[in-house]
Amino acid sequence: MRSFVLVSFAALLFSATLGVQSMPTGTEDLDDCAPATSVQARDLLEGILERRTPKAVAAAAVTFINHLKTNSATLTKAPVFWTGKSGRKGAKQVADILKKDTSIVGTRGGFTVFDALKDAGVSTTETAKWKPETDWRAVCGAFAQYAKPTDKKAHLVYGPEYDKTKNIWSDDEWPALEKNSAVTEVLTYEMKSDGKTWTEKGEIKASKKGSPIHSANSSPHVSDEE
């Protein structure tokens, strides 16, 4: 009986490590496009998902990706991406400030994948069911794939600390932007430790400098494929 209880407890603990958080609000210190799995869960999934293109599983995620594809002509604001952190401050809070700076993103303003989700009417109840290694990766990658900014520019805010094993920017968003002919320039900004400001770091797509952020699965070089 005691063995059964211990096994059951271990199973519950393992399940908890695979739990998914709900979609964050703009005030949270988020350092990746998706709520992260625990270190243990990411390690377990690493070998399985190392080179596979993520595919959305949740119905709402699939619907949202189809919405982006069908309505890509309306995605004309400047797409803003983020990854990494500085201390306890995530890059998303800096991205949320930068997207409102018209001197950078233009008069139409900028938007993130969370803004696109809100505009499409996707509820946090639905996104709470999404898995980081499939649904979120597919959704964030699709946002980069179908963006059609008027000025053909996308923006990345990054922190000096980031997951070098796996991160959605390196594995999904950046490769999609490389192939997106509607985006000709990707401008980068390194967040400062105050979590409010940034330092401009230059353009990385047209210049072929490549992404300043890498993971074990990504290449540091820009692809010539469009």
Q: What is the pLDDT of residues 52-64, one digit of tens each?
A: 567 888 999 999 9
Q: How many domains does the chain have?
A: 1
Question: Residue 93: CB partners within 8 Å, gap ≥ 6?
Answer: 26, 27, 28, 29, 30, 195, 196
Residue 80 belongs to domain spanning = 34-203
Cα separation, 85 vs 29, in Å, equals: 8
> Which pLDDT score, from 0 to 100, does residue 54 have?
74
Q: What is the pLDDT of residues 173-204, one digit of tens each?
A: 999 999 999 999 999 999 999 999 999 999 99
Across the range 206-211, mean pLDDT stands at: 96
Cα separation, 41 vs 162, in Å, equals: 17
Whether residue 128 lies inside any domain: the answer is yes
Whether residue 217 lies inside any domain: the answer is no
Strand, coil or helix: 27: coil
Tokens of 12: 């519950």
Q: How far is CA 208 from the centre of its chain?
A: 21
Across the range 5-12, mean pLDDT stands at: 46
Q: β-strand 89-90 against 110-111: which pairing, if any?
A: unpaired
Asked whether residue 66 carries a pLDDT value surpassing 50, the answer given is: yes
Across the range 2-24, mean pLDDT stands at: 45
Q: What is the mean pLDDT of the chain?
A: 82
Whether residue 109 lies inside any domain: the answer is yes
Question: Residue 81: CB partners within 8 Å, gap ≥ 6?
Answer: 33, 95, 112, 144, 154, 155, 156, 157, 169, 173
Contact 211, 167 (CB under 8 A): no
CA angle 6, 11, 17 (to 5 degrees): 125
Phi-psi region of 208 (alpha: psi -120 to 50; beta: other; left: phi over 0): left
Asked whether residue 112 carries a pLDDT value surpassing 70, the answer given is: yes
Cα separation, 61 vs 42, in Å, equals: 21
Whether residue 116 lies inside any domain: the answer is yes
Across the range 200-226, mean pLDDT stands at: 77
* Through-space distance between the first and last CA atoms of the chain, rounded to whole angstroms: 61
> Which pLDDT score, from 0 to 100, does residue 166 have?
83
Whether residue 225 lies inside any domain: the answer is no
Q: How far is CA 2 from the centre of its chain?
A: 44
Residue 104 to residues 80, 127, 140: CA-CA distances in angstroms? 11, 30, 22
Asked whether residue 220 carries a pLDDT value surpassing 80, the answer given is: no
Q: What is the pLDDT of residues 19-53, one digit of tens each?
A: 444 444 444 456 778 765 433 344 434 433 444 56
Number of residues written out for the chain: 226
Helices then strands (H, E): number in the chain? 10, 7
Whether residue 210 lies inside any domain: the answer is no
> Which pLDDT score, from 0 to 100, does residue 21 have?
43
Whether residue 23 lies inside any domain: the answer is no
Contact 140, 116 (CB under 8 A): no
Considering the entire predicted model, what is its pTM?
0.78
